[in-house]
Amino acid sequence: MSFWEYVGNRHQQLLTDAYQHASAVFQCMVLATLIGVLLGVVTYRSDWAGNLATTATSTILTVPSLAMIGLLIPVVGLGVPPTVIALTLYGLLPIVRNSIVGLRGVDPSLVDAAKGIGMSRVMRLARVELPLAWPPILTGIRVSTQMLMGIAAIAAYASGPGLGNEIFRGLASLGSKNALNQVLSGTLGIIVLALLFDAAYVLLGRLTIPRGIRV
Amino acid sequence: MSESHGAAIELENLTKRYPGSASPAVDNVNMEIKAGEIVIFVGPSGCGKSTTLKMINRLIEPSGGRIRIGGEDVTDIDPVKLRRKVGYAIQASGLFPHMTVAQNIALVPKMIGWPKGRIKDRVEEMLDLVGLDPGEFHHRYPRQLSGGQQQRVGVARALAADPPVLLMDEPFGAVDPITRDHLQDELIRLQHELHKTIVFVTHDFDEAIKLGDRIAVLRERSHIAQFDTPEAILTNPADDFVSGFVGAGAALKRLNLTRVRDVEITDYPTVSVDDPLQAIFNRIRSSGTNEILLLDKRGRPYKWLRRGDLMRAKGSLARAGTLVTDTVTRDATLRDALEAVLTDNTGRVAVTGRRGAYIGVVDMETLMNSVHELLEADRLEALEAQHELEEARAAQTHAEQEGPGGEAKA
């Protein structure tokens, strides 16, 4: 069976896997973005707290993904929970780091001006600092998403959802006639998804970055 | 819409001490700023002038002393509320790059809850006020404006909610000299309309002279070396520090403070190009001066005619005499007038009124006499002011020596 015949026969299964893969990554990105930006907002004004947040999240990233999921299984069980926890944790670093860099990069004279015309702390953050820091934060989110696309494949190891299942099935039956097709379709599927997401981010950037600071 | 006029500002024993430094950054400043006047804080960098300014809207919290605006003690009120009532303009405009010009200007009115329609009208009005066409600039982003335009929008934003007080922290420090000159003129014009109380920080003494109703020359720790009118500071600096800051050429700078309308404009024999040649000859002969002024058809100064010029040009008015190169209006400063007199080899300059029509002339002698009179008058005034300052200082020294046993110090 050629690769295309395989894809034709299994498209139902592949689409479901792809959908679940995308949905898992998307949901984990929403979580990681909320937590990551929050961490950035809380820590960027202090040197040591900001560094601590960056170091902590980058330490998480050095744990091999297979080990991370393996370690999570005894704690939270199989399936969706270890996948979500692992992906969210991995997604944090680029977002936290870029949030801190972005917020610290806002021109201090603008913050001074915002204060001077009577903006409260929350208003300054919401109306001035976060909008100005948004482009680097969005870049962080983009990098995170690309990374999670790949890592999400490992989730299949903990019987999680997604295209990883194809890959693992193929790897488990190496030598059988469909093994290569399975690995290939899973991998290519992930690449296509990653490209689609990236295109979506470009669009999101167009829509959300104010015209006055777009480069 | 009626604008609210300025409110008086009183600083009482205002002090800023930063933790870990032995001497205060701002030490015991006492100052009364009258409603509707422009007061300039001028001094070397690091003298605490900016810190003092930022304590007025409590961007920097004072460690001691009181601030009163319009009689109300604002030292302990919510700083966010205070700042919405005090306009604030800074160097390089401080406009938010992600908002349009209109959004920037609308910020404070929005925060204090003006209705939408009123905000919209106000934005147009403010753009108009600072000399920018609302239709053209409304939707632009700050980066699409020149430095001078950004600064204008910065001032418009500061004034949008019609605050009685405007604080300006070296607002024109980052623009080129020509633009700065324009912006200063604009500010003077604005102030004629608005009568706000403006506190303006600069390190440029010439800017201080040009803009200030009164100038506070500050030395280290914001000690007031002299607080007086520009005239008084120029003619009678309180001490070596102030005269060092005034710099050389105080008499020349003084010329900037007086307008041509304030000095005597003298009549001068004139003829018109429409007069018959014979009448012109007669006029030159009977005038008793070396030259007369030839006016064009609309009564504007056209040429200086010397005796004999007409003869040499064989009676042709088109070829005779020298063209008038420079004229001044009644609003020109004496410095402009002097400049014109010096460059024109006749030793006088024609003064023009509406549509460039001739009014009279100002010559070297008039200029010298009026400058002498001005300097003399300033000197007397300054002596009086210095007397008062010394008395005030003596009182303060006295209070300080009394120590904590006397008046409680912050």
Q: How confident is the model at residue B3 (pLDDT cuts 50, 70, 90)?
A: low
Contact A212 B142 (CB under 8 A): yes
Helix axis angle, A47-62 to A80-104, nearest 10°: 140
Q: Which residues of A touch B94 (CB under 8 A)?
A: 109-110, 112-113, 116
Place of tokens 């500071």: B233
Q: Is A123 on the interface with B (CB under 8 A)?
A: yes
A109 to B142: CB separation less than 8 angstroms, yes or no? no
Tell if the pTM clears 0.80, that is, is over it.
no
**Residues A42 and A56 sit within 8 Å (Cβ to Cβ):** no
The whole-chain average pLDDT of chain A stands at: 89
Of A134, A167, A135, the residue nearest A149 (C-alpha):
A167
Indicate if the pLDDT at residue B81 is higher than 90.
Answer: no
Non-local CB neighbours of B9 within 8 Å, separated by 6+ positions: B31, B32, B33, B56, B67, B68, B69, B165, B197, B199
Query: What is the per-residue DSSP string for A80-147?
Result: HHHHHHHHHHHHHHHHHHHHHHHHHTS-HHHHHHHHHTT--HHHIIIIIIHHHHHHHHHHHHHHHHHH
Q: Which residue did the predictor score with more confidence, A146 or A161? A: A146
Side-chain half-sphere exposure of A113, counting CA atoms within 13 A:
27
Please determine, for residue B19, whether its predicted confidence score (pLDDT) is greater than 60.
Answer: yes
The confidence band for A114, taking pLDDT boundaries of 50, 70 and 90, is very high
- Tokens encoding A178: 């469909």
B182 close to B12: Cβ distance less than 8 angstroms: no
Q: What is the mean pLDDT of chain B?
A: 84
**H/E run at residue B113:** none
Confidence of residue B404 (pLDDT cuts 50, 70, 90): low
Q: Residue B324: enclosing H or E segment and its boundaries?
A: none
- pLDDT, mean of residues B105-113: 91
Q: Tell me: the pLDDT tens digits for B217-246? A: 988 888 888 898 888 888 788 888 888 878
- pLDDT single digits (tens) B273-288: 888 888 888 888 887 7
Lowest average pLDDT, out of A9-13, A132-136, A155-159, B53-57, goes to A155-159
Q: Is the pLDDT of residue B391 over 70?
A: yes
Residue B115: the pLDDT is: 92
The pLDDT score that the predictor gives to residue B185 is 83
**CA separation (Å) from A142 to A135, A195, A215, B280, B387?**
11, 11, 17, 86, 70
Task: Note the pLDDT tens digit of each residue in B161-185.
Answer: 889 999 999 888 878 888 888 888 8
Reported as a pLDDT band with limits 50, 70 and 90, residue B101 is: very high
Answer yes or no: is pLDDT of A7 > 90.
Answer: no
Closest CA to A65 of A164, A143, A131: A164
Q: Do the strands B358-363 and B348-352 form a parallel or antiparallel pair, or are they unpaired? A: antiparallel
User: What is the structure's pLDDT at A161?
Assistant: 81
According to DSSP, the β-strands at B327-329 and B72-73 are unpaired
Rounded CA gap, A130 and A128, in Å?
A: 6
For B296-323, give the DSSP string.
-TTS-EEEEEETTHHHHTTT-TTTSSEE
| Angle, helix A179-208 to helix A164-172, in steps of 10 degrees | 160
Per-residue pLDDT band for A9 (boundaries 50, 70, 90) equals confident
For tokens 């970055």, name the residue: A209
What domains are defined for chain A? 3-213 (1.10.3720.10)
Cβ neighbors of A177 (< 8 A, separation 6 or more) are A1
Distance from CA of B170 to the nearest CA of A (A): 13
Chain B CB within 8 Å of residue A207 CB: no
Residue type present at position B80: V
Residues of B in CB contact (< 8 Å) with A are 57, 59, 80-85, 88, 90-92, 94-100, 107-108, 111, 141-143, 157-158, 167
Kindly state the tokens that stand for B235.
């003619």
Question: Taking residues B313-335, what's their average pLDDT?
Answer: 81
What integer pLDDT is reported at residue B222 of this predicted model?
84
ipTM of this complex > 0.90? Answer: no
What is the mean predicted confidence (pLDDT) over A106-128? 91
Residue B409: pLDDT over 80: no
When computed from its CA atoms, the radius of gyration of chain A, rounded to whole angstroms, is 20
The number of residues making up chain A comes to 215
Strands (E), B242-300: 270-272, 291-295
- pLDDT above 90 (res A35): yes
Chain B closest CA to A106's CA: distance in Å?
A: 11
Contact B99 A110 (CB under 8 A): no
A52 contact B CB<8A: no
Measured distance CA(B222)–CA(B34) in Å, rounded: 19
Which amino acid appears at position A102 of this protein? G
Q: Is the pLDDT of residue A86 over 80?
A: yes
Percentage above 90 pLDDT, chain A: 41
From chain B, the residues in CB contact with A116 under 8 A are: 57, 59, 83, 88, 90, 94, 167
Listed residue (B324, B326, B346) closest to B336, CA to CA: B326
Looking at per-residue confidence, does A144 or B46 come out higher? A144
Q: H helices of B95-239, where?
A: 101-111, 116-129, 134-137, 147-159, 177-194, 205-211, 230-235
Least Cα distance to A166 among A147, A150, A185 occurs for: A185
Q: How far is A210 from chain B (nearest CA, A)?
A: 5
Asked if A127 contacts A114 with a C-beta cutoff of 8 angstroms, the reply is yes
Query: What are the backbone angles phi and psi of residue B167, rounded to the nearest 5°?
Result: -105, 130
Asked whether residue B408 carries a pLDDT value surpassing 70, the answer given is: no
Question: What is the structure's pLDDT at B403?
Answer: 59
C-beta atoms of B94 and A210 within 8 A: no
* Smallest CA–CA distance from B91 into chain A, residue: A109
Q: What is the pLDDT of residue B23?
A: 84
Q: Which of B94, B98, B143 sits opposite A113 (nearest CB)?
A: B94
Q: What is the DSSP letter of B204?
A: -
Mean pLDDT of A170-182: 84
Summarize the confidence of residues B75-81 as an average pLDDT: 88
Of the partner residues B83, B88, B96, the one whose CB lies closest to the CB of residue A110: B96
Contact state of B99 with A213 under an 8 Å Cβ cutoff? no
For residue B333, list its beta bridge partners.
Answer: B259
Neighbours of B150 (CB within 10 A): 21
| Side-chain-facing half-sphere of B92: CA atoms under 13 Å | 10
Residues of B with CB below 8 A from A213's CB? Answer: 97-98
Name the nearest CA neighbour of B85 among A128, A110, A118. A118
The sheet with strand B358-363 has its strands ordered as B327-329, B348-352, B358-363
First CA to last CA across chain B, in angstroms? 42
User: Taking a C-beta distance cutoff of 8 angstroms, is the pair B11, B29 a contact?
Assistant: yes
Query: How far is B25 from chain A, CA to nearest CA, in Å?
Result: 19
CA distances from A214 to A138, A207, A209, A211, B144 (A): 13, 11, 6, 5, 12
